[in-house]
């Protein structure tokens, strides 16, 4: 958001239980979660404010891969992603005072090169990616060492599709 030269503040004071309906298609999960995250803030939204909430998921072979539970889970996830193409989908919800919230999702395909067990261990130990969907941050070592190709928004993989958000805010 800072790159857009707009005034903003981050508020994570309200949490929600990220419970997703079991029959919800994987590609719809991030949009659902971004709408869910907006709910607790709507009553506090003022006329001159815009609320933006987002959620990013990694999808491999139609299955949502969330944040790792621990280091062993991070190893498992990165082993699954290595040598494959996966999708990173971010759902973004924009709320204006007195208007119906609008949600969009941005999809980026990321191709990982193969990774050795030692490379995965190095990354997990050094960067501790336990707070990241798919157990990695593309802006970190693994992005340079393992990302073979990307189709779509780089910033989406970081967690917020800045260009698409900027365009939506202009509209």
Catalytic residues: 55
For residues 91 and 160, is the Cβ–Cβ distance under 8 A?
Answer: no
Measured CA to CA, the distance from residue 166 to residue 171 in angstroms comes to 9
From the list 100, 92, 109, the residue with the least C-alpha distance to 35 is 92
Angle of helix 71-81 relative to helix 117-127, nearest 10 degrees?
A: 130
User: Residue 67 has which token pair?
Assistant: 């944040």
């Amino acid at each position: 958001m800072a790159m857009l030269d707009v005034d903003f503040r981050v508020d994570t004071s309200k949490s929600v239980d990220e419970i997703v309906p079991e029959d919800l298609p994987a590609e719809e999960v991030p949009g659902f979660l971004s709408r869910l995250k907006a709910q607790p803030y709507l009553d506090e939204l003022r006329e001159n404010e815009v609320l933006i909430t987002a959620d990013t998921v990694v999808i491999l072979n139609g299955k949502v891969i969330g944040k790792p539970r621990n280091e062993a889970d991070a190893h498992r996830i990165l082993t699954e992603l290595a040598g494959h193409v996966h999708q990173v989908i971010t759902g973004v919800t924009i709320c204006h005072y007195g208007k119906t919230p609008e949600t969009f999702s941005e999809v980026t395909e990321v191709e990982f090169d193969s990774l050795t067990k030692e490379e995965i261990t190095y990354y997990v130990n050094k960067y501790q990616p336990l707070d990241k969907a798919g157990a990695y941050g593309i802006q970190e070592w693994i992005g340079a060492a393992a990302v073979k190709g990307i189709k779509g928004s780089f910033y989406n993989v970081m967690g917020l599709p800045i260009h698409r958000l900027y365009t939506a805010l202009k509209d």
